[in-house]
Structures are given as structure tokens and as C-alpha cells.
Structure 1
């Protein structure tokens, strides 16, 4: 007697995961359901159903939604998986401008999956003499940095703080901020960034 496996439970879980990812991406941009509906050219009801883990969306509709959110379609379809492993040898290196002088060439390793839209963990190795005072960072989100080794100067708006090994600092990223290596040796920093401002 042939047995047929019922994978509807897994399908429901996958759709619910996609719905949670869609809601998070929409909220990250500060859009209402109606705004996303208008930008994507799909019905309000479809998006509402998707976010609740319901419905049977077409490929075209999913592609339009991903395009409106400015994310690759796989990022939307992967959903918010419970666990993902990035092996040490598989870390993605973030690009460094080719014309940067050696003292400005920070090695940035992405420790979270490339598809993660809600959290990034980056290991930065700052060479002696590094400073981006002339080009401060400013973007949406909240960041927490922890010094693994060396010393890090963080300037956030009018606040200047020097961090030593094991010290952490959390700040809103919409305020201009910059780093400098305050040690004579390389400084290693772990930085966790989320798109939400606290």
C-alpha cells in the first residue's frame, strides 16, 4: 500500500514565515499596508492575507512586492528562518574602495546571512591610524558595538567615548557617528545593526 506524505503543515509554516518577513520589511520602511499595495500594484487584501500567512500568491505578485520593497525575491521567499549557520570560512567580506589608503582599509566580515534584512552582525578589523571622521556614518537603525581587542573611539553627535576591550556602546544610527582606532595595533570590533531605531 502506497503512503502519501502530507506536507501541507510545512507549506503553512513556510507561508507564515514569508508573511512575517514581509511584515518586517514593510515596517522597516515605515509603510502602511495601503502604501505597499499602491507601490507594488497588488491588492491590499493580498498583502494583508500574506502577512497573516494565508493565501496562494502568484509568482508575479511576489515579484512585484519584492521589487517595491527593493529586495531580491529570494530574500522575501526565504522568510524569517529560525536558525542559519555561517561557517567561519564562509563569511562574506564587505567591499572596500580600491582607492582607500592602507590606514583606511577596514576588513569587514559579515557574520549573519546575506539574506538577513532585520539584523547584521559585522566583525571589523581597523588598522592602526584608522579614522572616518571626514566621512561619518549616518543611516536608519540602531547599532551596538563591542570591542574584542584594542581600543575604539566612537563619536556620536556631540558624545565622544573611548572603548576598551570588552566595552560596548549602543546608539541610534540616524545621528552622524564615526570611529577611530585609538590603539597602535589593529582593533577588532563586533557591531550588531538592526534597521529599527530605539
Structure 2
């Protein structure tokens, strides 16, 4: 019985980690996810800490609010924990309120269950800017421009990055990006939950 309990706790912990990664990747606070899903703040917080016994209905509401299928939320619990094939990349959904011309294609290059490091390839359309919704969360981010140019605003600092340039910054400071190129800009970003 203890082995079953331990296995269940591990699975809930992995599910909670996958939920937290997805929520943070979309730039949502626990409060915002609670509002969107109708699931209580306390239950989400508890689940992200690997605690509790969430109902199927609560998990389904969370998946819908995040714009992912429930099976995708669970997919971080299995499979090869080391490899993401090019045709199996998870596409991080845009907020439903994002205008079509501002939608970014975000591909997760690391396994979905990975919580200590995420690598994301972002394709920014011409004119993209998230100045009106800057990000602020725990962690450290490092971004490298593969194509085009990127304006990064971190607190009061504004930096324009060209092809091959990299910038690393703490994420607890409000930050936002803008495509500083007339065409598409492609950026590789690595995010760790640890702030340096």
C-alpha cells in the first residue's frame, strides 16, 4: 500500500510540475489561471506543490483554461524524458485575447515535464510587441536571436539584439520583447526557475 501511495504522490507531483511549467510559460499568475478555469486558487497552489487529490473535472477545467488537451497535460508524465523530436514539439498556445497579427509561434524544445530548464523557439511576426503585458516571474532567462532583431526591455534597460546576440537576465524584473525587424524574428530562449 505504501508503494501505491508513493507512486500516486510522485504522479501528482509530476502533474503539478507540468501544470506550473505550462502556467508560467504562458505568463499566467495562479490568480489568473484560477479566474479563467473556475478552479480555486488554493487547489491550484496545492496541486503545483505536488499535494492534494484533484478531481477529473478540476483537471479538465485547468487544461481548457490553458488551451491544452488534458492528455497533453498528462503527457509530461510519460514518454522519453530526454528527447523531443522535431515533429513532436509542443506548441505553446497564445492567449485567446491575442490578435491574430500578434500571435507568436512558441515551440517547446525540452520535454514538457522538465521543470528546471525550458528551451523555447519563438517566431515573432512583424510588428510584434508585448509591451502592454510584460512578464514578471521567478527565474533566469537567456535569449539568442537566430533571425531578424529583437528589442528586449528589462526594467528601465532597452537593448536591441541582432543575429547571434544573446542577453541573460533575471525574470523577477518586468520585461518584454518587440520584433525590431521588418520581417519575422526567430529567438531561442532558455528559462530556468532559479534566479542568478
Rounded Cα–Cα distance in structure 2 between residues aligned with 1:130 and 1:124? 11
**2:40 matches 1:60:** no
Contact kept in structure 2, 1:62 and 1:73, CA below 8 Å: no
1:130 match: 128
1:148 match: 146
Partner of residue 85 from structure 2, selected from 68, 87, 95: 87
- By how many angstroms is 1:63 displaced? 2.9
Q: How does 1:15-94 map to 2 (within 5 A)?
A: 58-64=3-9, 66=13, 67=47, 69-70=49-50, 84-94=82-92
> SS state of the match for residue 58, structure 1?
helix
Structure 1 unaligned blocks of 5 or more: 1-55
Q: How does 1:111-130 map to 2 (within 5 A)?
A: 111-130=109-128
> SS state of the match for residue 145, structure 1?
strand
> What TM-score does the superposition give when structure 1 sets the normalisation length?
0.63
Structure 2 unaligned blocks of 5 or more: 14-46, 52-72
- By how many angstroms is 1:74 displaced? 8.4
2:98 match: 100
> What TM-score does the superposition give when structure 2 sets the normalisation length?
0.64
Rounded Cα–Cα distance in structure 2 between residues aligned with 1:73 and 1:100? 26
2:44 match: none
Larger gyration radius, structure 1 or structure 2: 1
Rounded Cα–Cα distance in structure 1 between residues aligned with 2:164 and 2:78? 37
> SS state of the match for residue 103, structure 1?
helix
Rounded Cα–Cα distance in structure 1 between residues aligned with 2:78 and 2:100? 40
- By how many angstroms is 1:62 displaced? 4.3
Rounded Cα–Cα distance in structure 1 between residues aligned with 2:48 and 2:93? 26
1:93-117 superposed Cα distances (whole Å, 9 cap, x missing partner) = 0011233212310000000001111
Rounded Cα–Cα distance in structure 1 between residues aligned with 2:101 and 2:48? 39
CA RMSD of aligned residues (A): 2.6
1:186 match: 184
Number of equivalenced pairs: 140
